[in-house]
Amino acid sequence: MRFPPPLIFATGFLLGWILEVRVRSLPMAGAPSTRAVLEVVGALGLVGGLVVAFWGLWTFHRAHTAILPHRPASRLVTSGPYRFSRNPMYVGLTAAYIGLAMLANTLWPPVFLPLVITALYLLVVRREERYLGSAFGAEYAEYRRRIRRWL
């Protein structure tokens, strides 16, 4: 894999943050009561997203298969969060990204999120799916049929 997924998310967030700081502030909330709600929801999104992403990593670790994307997988993991999503780590990173934007009270990073998701799909997910299809054949085809890519 040429682009580590966390780097794709970090790049999108950084571009949004640069626009926030250097070009124009674009807050999500202005009123203190709205800001407080935004902070709570943002913290839940950030923590929940990181928990899901690390649950995915832990599940790979427990299955004794490659965690790093440039290494070959020794088995198809379909347990843990992979029962609900074929890409729980990316779902978790997306939730964390949105939660962090809420905590930072800026709309700019979410403006870049569709580009982040598109880059993730084009640069990472398509390659992973091709590799898993060739490595695990019918087993992966059945898994794809049963489990959605995202949620």
Predicted confidence at residue 1, as pLDDT, reads 55
Predicted confidence at residue 33, as pLDDT, reads 84
What phi, psi does 105 have (nearest 5°)? 55, 50
pLDDT digits (tens, 9 = 90+) for 68-104: 777 789 999 999 999 999 999 999 999 999 999 999 9
Domain spans in the chain, listed from the N-terminal domain onward? 5-146
Nearest to 115 by CA among 18, 11, 6, 1: 11
pLDDT digits (tens, 9 = 90+) for 2-54: 779 999 999 999 999 999 999 998 888 878 889 999 999 999 999 999 999 99
Q: How far apart are CA 138 and CA 94, in angstroms?
A: 29
